[in-house]
């Protein structure tokens, strides 16, 4: 299966990738990734950089992995998890009605993905300040936010990384509520995204509900 998003190369999107054969070296990269990195996005970058042999026709390094959209990174981690162990994983979550714990199974390889939409990975958007360019978040942005988790202005800083006008970052304070809503809708349309929920009926009270699935949850992807 190709990447749901891909990387621009020579005027077109390349969605091809290839993992290294699983060896003791690759297993060591996975085992050490958590202890050698400070934040989960850094761990994801290290795991993919050490596991991918080729990406969009290019030799892989951490910089290339950081340039992948967030959805592509989620997709690749799940494909790697399935390559290591194709068996379904048990996921545990609390019922939204009675509060009892519910367990259900998820297969990493079969998690549904919404492919990238029109304009991916960067599109023009007409805002109250004029035309701007908007790109989808990537791994470098995930690492940026993770390092500023306690910073109340981190989301505004992220928006300035994604939105530019005349080659300069656009400050969130310059945007109207309508602008922000438009940006949010466009990002949702463009971005490849994993199916992050599963419909589950509680065996205790019978309540039907959507349970969240975290593609990076250790119980699901084992990295």
pLDDT per position as a tens digit, 120-135: 999 999 999 999 999 9
Confidence of residue 219 (pLDDT cuts 50, 70, 90): very low
pLDDT of residue 223: 52
The pTM assigned to this predicted structure is 0.89
State how far the Cα of 110 lies from the Cα of 123, in Å rounded to an integer: 30
Average pLDDT, the chain: 90
Bridge partner residues of 193 (DSSP): 114
Sequence-distant (6+) residues with CB within 8 A of 148 are 154, 157
If you search the block for the tokens 């690492």, which residue do you land on? 143
Instruction: Give 15-74 pLDDT, tens digit per residue.
Output: 999 999 988 777 777 777 777 778 889 999 999 998 999 999 999 999 999 999 999 999
More confident residue, 141 or 105: 141
Angle 209-5-17 from CA coordinates, rounded to 5°: 115
Q: Look up tokens 């928006």; give the residue.
A: 159
**pLDDT level of residue 222 (50, 70, 90 thresholds):** low
pLDDT at 53: 94
Average pLDDT of 165-174? 92
Mean pLDDT of 162-182: 94
Return the pLDDT at 9. Answer: 92
Q: Is 203 exposed, middle or buried (0-12, 13-18, 19+ CB in 10 A)?
A: exposed
């Amino acid at each position: 299966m190709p990447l749901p998003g891909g990387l621009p190369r020579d005027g077109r999107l390349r969605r091809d990738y290839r993992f290294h054969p699983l060896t003791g070296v690759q297993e060591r990269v996975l085992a050490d990734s958590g202890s050698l990195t400070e934040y989960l996005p850094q761990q994801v970058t290290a795991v993919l950089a050490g596991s991918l042999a080729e990406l969009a026709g290019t030799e892989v390094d951490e910089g290339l992995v950081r340039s992948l959209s967030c959805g592509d990174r989620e997709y690749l981690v799940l494909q790697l998890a399935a390559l290591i162990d194709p068996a379904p994983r048990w996921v545990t979550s609390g019922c939204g009605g009675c509060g009892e714990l519910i367990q259900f199974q998820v297969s990493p390889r079969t998690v549904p993905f919404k492919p990238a939409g029109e304009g991916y990975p960067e599109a023009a958007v007409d805002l109250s300040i004029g035309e701007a360019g908007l790109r989808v978040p990537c791994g470098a942005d995930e690492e940026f936010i993770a390092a500023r988790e306690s910073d109340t202005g981190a989301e505004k800083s992220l928006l300035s990384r994604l939105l530019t006008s005349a080659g300069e970052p656009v400050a969130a304070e310059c945007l109207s509520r309508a602008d922000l809503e438009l940006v949010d809708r466009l990002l949702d349309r463009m971005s490849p995204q994993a199916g992050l929920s599963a419909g589950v009926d509680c065996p205790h009270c019978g309540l039907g509900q959507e349970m969240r699935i975290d593609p990076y949850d250790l119980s699901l992807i084992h990295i």
